[in-house]
Structure formats: structure tokens, C-alpha cells
A and B are shown apart, each in its own frame.
Chain A
């Protein structure tokens, strides 16, 4: 019997149901589907839920609610169907985001290419032709983890944090992108720069991306990026409905 799905307490404040030991599309979809079911079940002990790359998180006060009580009920719910064959939600979007790869605006393209065993030009082509999916929002409000990228992009994080990359930065590691919504320190390599903010509290819709959406990063020159940055927090983003 597989060790997954695995149910474990996290501190005294929640429970994590993990569907795989490494990122996989199937585990990601299972986590999203299981979360939707838990939300529909509406157990009073659960104050909120979320899904991460391969897990569903349940906020539970484990001081008042013994872990063992929920553990038994979660096992029963998990056994009720095959969570690994869940479909992606409907209403997904394909976004096109103008992106400046490399240059002084995204200074780690060459370093990342080297880690992936590519030339800088090959790296740019590979990343610009990718169409990664929003697999989860996290790390900062509305901020997407995107993947999976081609296998050569399974590169490790840096051992030291970069003290700060700007908002709109596209960073890469472990076959994924993150598109930063605010200036942040990061262990991932900064390969692209957009003028798009995934979260803007002053925008009508602060959070624009939803798990399941797909994104194309269309290459632009530095000057074009500068011009887009002078407009608004959409940064020239457009979208079409996915079938």
C-alpha cells in the first residue's frame, strides 16, 4: 500500500493531507479536488482550507479538537473515491504576459540556463514556449506557482537567498516558475521580468489568477517593459477562455 495520501498534523494549528512526495500533476489535481470536497462537507472543526502543490491543508485548532478524531474521518473520506483522477475545474483562462527575459532586469537567465545545461538562447526559447499551469497560489497574496516546466528545469534553489527581487519578477527552480507579486527575498533564480502584479489591493479584482489557469510568457525588449510599467498593474496582460 502506498504511503500516500498521508495525513499529518502541522503544529497545533492544522492538518495536512499530502497526495505525493514530489510535485506531480495528478497529486496537484487530487489536492484541489479534495479541498473542494472538504469545503462542501463544511465540518465545523475546520476553520479554513487551502491547497498547496500536492497537499490539502485544513486549519483546525488541535488543542480543542483531538487530531485522532479528525484523522479517522479523513481516512474515511479519502477512501470514498480516487482523488488522483479528478478533472481540472471549468472556466479556466489562458493568459499572455509580456516578459523581458534576461538583461539587467532579470540578471540570472544565464546562470539558470547553465544549471539547466542550456545556452542562454536555448533557455529563453524553452521558457518562452512553455505554457505552465497555475498549480497553486501562495507565498504571497495571489502569487502563482506555475508548472510543470520541461524536465531540464528541475534545477535546485540557490543555497543563499537573493536579498530582494522586484514585483513582477519571474523566477525558476525545481521545474516551476513563481511570478512575484511584491519585492521579496528568494532562493529561486530571476530569469524574467513582467509589469504584471498577481495581487493588487487597489485593483477591482485584487487576485486575478486561479489554479488551473495557464500562462504564456511572450518575450519583449527592456524598453517595452519600461513602457508597460508606466501603465498599470496589468502590465499588458491579456487572456482568452480555455475550452
Chain B
């Protein structure tokens, strides 16, 4: 029998997301996938398996249940999470007993939380990915009554956590020059770099608008530049002068000029900036941007070694209760690879 995750209720923007699609740009389909890719890697490290699709929850989670004991991990923006009344630690793995109700509420920091399941979902690939691409109408958001089949999970470890990330409050974003930076002129670029921004309410999987604390920006002849390829993280200036950071579900091409490009490893920070969070922008030359990116990749590689067992603090009896619950059932799982990992 195939087991499933049952969705009893879901917030307004809950969807299945993996690392997205490659090879579809020529057909006009952008990568899509998780807005916070680092959160997928964190979930994979906590559950000791490769990256696979997770439930992406923007702002608010939902109520979930599984038809068998299931390992879960919670990463990305911390949200209020309970299993049958017992609170769950965020950025950690847990065991969700069969029939128990997992209730995930609103974010307490950041913007987007992720619910990872065992070894993932048994959902067919569409154009190479399990991700819903909402802008392209490929797949849909999740809603009450959905049952998502699960893959068998040979893993056993739960009750581990990762250190809290500092990417949930906005902050420093690094950019490189884009193919259209020059048409803005050095004075406009300089003013752009000296401007403080905050995350606007207008934000979705296509782009996140930043509100400048001063005047907007414009390129000479900017409303008639030739439509050109978009890279994820491009900062587009629309007609009213405010910048949008283009995200994973952006168009593949666009005609509004782009002043710069956010480096890939800072996109999770952009995605997680809560409403009105401050964003400050620093321009890097290519070599420095590459160095930062290499550091971010090294961090992803190191994630498994950063996982630690949750400390059983007797002051947090609810938490302790859920761990006890966990250790009682995980032995039911056979792990052919137990002890095989380094």
C-alpha cells in the first residue's frame, strides 16, 4: 500500500517544490522550484538523504497527517508547529506518528517555511521536476483534501537540528553588474548602492519588490530596451522606478531594464525577508562574488556535519514528549544502511 501525506487544511500559498527545472528556458519556462533553495539542502541534511521536493509554505502552513509513522523536517522560516498539542522545534527533524495532526501556523520570523518528508514524495515528474510552477500553471497550490503519495523511507534518524540561520531578517544583499547596468549610468548606480530598501508587500514567486527610502530609478530610454534573457536574481526597474528582484518563477525574458543581479547564494535571504525588512545592497566585482558563492557552496556541503542531536531540556517537557514518542517508533523501521555513513 502506498502511504500518503494528507492535507487537512493549507495556507494560501502552499505548494510542492524541489530544485526546479533545467533545460526548459528555450521553451519559455524558468527553473521555478523552491524560493529558498538552501532550506531544501537543510532538510536533506537533517533527514540524511539527497535533496528532494518539500512542501513550501509562504507565510502560513496548514494541518497535515500521514498514513504511517513518518520522519519529517522543518526548515526555512520558523513557524508555529505542533503535533497533537506538543510544540516542535524548527530547523529540526522529528517523527510524525501515524494519525497525529501536524499543525503549522504562521511564520514567527522570515517568510517561507518548508516541510520535508522522509525520502520525499512519490509524485511523477512533469518536464523534469515535481515542482508546481504557479506562474506557468504547471501543477497547483495544495489545498484541503489533497493526498500526496510518499516514497518508502529507509531512514531512521530524527530529533536532530541545525543551527538557526541569520537569513530571516533581510540585511546585506550582494550584487554583480548585469548586461544592462551601463545604461543606468554610474551616477544612478551609485545612488542605487547608497539607497536603503525595504521589502515591499508586493512579492510572489516571480519577483519581490523593494521600496527605496528615496526616489526611484530610471535608465535612459529604459521603457524601450530590447527584451532580453533574465537571470534569477536580476534586479528589474519597472516604469515607476522601484526595483523588483526577479525570482525563480520569473519570465525567461523581459523588457524592463535590469540594474544588477543578486548573487545566487543571497536569493534565500531575499526570499525570506519579511514585509518591511531592511535590505542593503553591496556591489561586488566578479572575483569577490565568486568567492562568496564558493563559500556558500562549501556551507551546503558541510550541512550534514552541522546537524546536532536536539538537547533534551527538561524545561521543555512538550518537546521531550515528542522525542520520546519518536524513539518508541523509529525502531520499527529497518535501515539496511545503518552505520554505513561516515
Asked if residues A63 and B290 are in contact (CB atoms below 8 Å), the reply is yes
Closest CB in chain A relative to B90 CB, distance in Å = 30
Residue of B whose beta carbon sits closest to that of A160: B239
Asked if residues A49 and B238 are in contact (CB atoms below 8 Å), the reply is no
Asked if residues A10 and B26 are in contact (CB atoms below 8 Å), the reply is no
The CA of A227 and the CA of B321, in the complex, are separated in Å by: 62
The CA of A10 and the CA of B27, in the complex, are separated in Å by: 19
Taken residue by residue from 99 to 133, chain A's Cβ proximity to chain B (1 for < 8 Å, 0 otherwise) reads as: 00000000000000000000000000000000000
The 8 Å CB contact of B176, one of A12, A53, A157, is A12
Main secondary structure of the interface of A (DSSP, over half): loop
Taken residue by residue from 23 to 43, chain B's Cβ proximity to chain A (1 for < 8 Å, 0 otherwise) reads as: 111111100000000000000
The verdict on B227 contacting chain A, using a C-beta distance below 8 Å, is: yes
Residue of A whose beta carbon sits closest to that of B261: A11
Taken residue by residue from 218 to 245, chain B's Cβ proximity to chain A (1 for < 8 Å, 0 otherwise) reads as: 0000011011110111100011100000
CB neighbours (8 Å) of A143 from chain B are: 28
Asked if residues A63 and B253 are in contact (CB atoms below 8 Å), the reply is no
The 8 Å CB contact of A199, one of B136, B239, B252, is B136
The verdict on A87 contacting chain B, using a C-beta distance below 8 Å, is: no
Which of A16-24, A76-84, A89-97, A234-242 forms part of the interface with chain B? A16-24
Knowing A62-B290, A201-B138, the reply to whether A160 touches B240 (Cβ < 8 A) is yes
Asked if residues B239 and A9 are in contact (CB atoms below 8 Å), the reply is no
Residue of B whose beta carbon sits closest to that of A159: B239
The verdict on A156 contacting chain B, using a C-beta distance below 8 Å, is: yes
CB neighbours (8 Å) of A54 from chain B are: 226
The CA of A149 and the CA of B293, in the complex, are separated in Å by: 43
Interface residues of B in 1-35 (CB under 8 A from A): 22-29
Closest CB in chain A relative to B245 CB, distance in Å = 12
Interface residues of A in 47-61 (CB under 8 A from B): 47-55, 57, 59
The verdict on B178 contacting chain A, using a C-beta distance below 8 Å, is: yes
The verdict on A225 contacting chain B, using a C-beta distance below 8 Å, is: no
Residue of A whose beta carbon sits closest to that of B239: A159
The verdict on B272 contacting chain A, using a C-beta distance below 8 Å, is: no
Interface residues of B in 98-129 (CB under 8 A from A): 126
The 8 Å CB contact of B255, one of A8, A184, A187, is A187
Asked if residues B226 and A53 are in contact (CB atoms below 8 Å), the reply is yes
Asked if residues A50 and B231 are in contact (CB atoms below 8 Å), the reply is no
The verdict on B251 contacting chain A, using a C-beta distance below 8 Å, is: yes
Residue of A whose beta carbon sits closest to that of B134: A182
The verdict on B179 contacting chain A, using a C-beta distance below 8 Å, is: yes
Interface residues of A in 1-16 (CB under 8 A from B): 8-14, 16
Asked if residues B229 and A142 are in contact (CB atoms below 8 Å), the reply is no
Residue among B255, B261, B263 with max Cβ neighbours from chain A (10 Å):
B255
Knowing A11-B231, A13-B231, the reply to whether A138 touches B251 (Cβ < 8 A) is yes
Asked if residues A55 and B255 are in contact (CB atoms below 8 Å), the reply is no
Residue among B232, B238, B253 with max Cβ neighbours from chain A (10 Å):
B253
Residue of A whose beta carbon sits closest to that of B262: A11
The verdict on B64 contacting chain A, using a C-beta distance below 8 Å, is: no
The verdict on B286 contacting chain A, using a C-beta distance below 8 Å, is: yes
Asked if residues A158 and B239 are in contact (CB atoms below 8 Å), the reply is yes
Closest CB in chain A relative to B105 CB, distance in Å = 30
Asked if residues A63 and B252 are in contact (CB atoms below 8 Å), the reply is no
The CA of A187 and the CA of B254, in the complex, are separated in Å by: 11
CB neighbours (8 Å) of A182 from chain B are: 135-137
Asked if residues B228 and A52 are in contact (CB atoms below 8 Å), the reply is yes
Knowing A10-B231, A53-B228, the reply to whether A159 touches B23 (Cβ < 8 A) is no
Asked if residues A50 and B25 are in contact (CB atoms below 8 Å), the reply is yes
The 8 Å CB contact of A11, one of B223, B239, B240, B264, is B264
Closest CB in chain A relative to B337 CB, distance in Å = 30
The verdict on B297 contacting chain A, using a C-beta distance below 8 Å, is: yes
CB neighbours (8 Å) of A13 from chain B are: 231-232, 264
Knowing A159-B223, A182-B137, the reply to whether A138 touches B179 (Cβ < 8 A) is no
Asked if residues A12 and B264 are in contact (CB atoms below 8 Å), the reply is yes
5 more A-B residue pairs beyond the given contacts A62-B290, A141-B24, with a C-beta to C-beta distance below 8 A: A50-B26, A50-B252, A55-B228, A161-B238, A184-B135
Q: A: which residues have CB within 8 A of B?
A: 8-14, 16, 18, 20-23, 35, 47-55, 57, 59, 62-63, 67, 136-143, 145, 156-161, 173-174, 182, 184, 187, 199, 201, 207
Q: B: which residues have CB within 8 A of A?
A: 22-29, 126, 135-138, 176, 178-179, 223-224, 226-229, 231-234, 238-240, 251-256, 261-264, 286, 289-290, 293-294, 297
22 contacts between A and B (CB under 8 A): A10-B179, A11-B178, A11-B231, A11-B233, A11-B261, A12-B289, A13-B264, A18-B228, A21-B226, A47-B22, A48-B26, A57-B229, A67-B286, A137-B26, A138-B28, A139-B227, A140-B28, A140-B135, A141-B28, A157-B223, A157-B255, A174-B226
The 8 closest A-B pairs by CB, nearest first: A159-B239, A11-B261, A138-B253, A50-B26, A11-B231, A139-B251, A57-B229, A141-B29
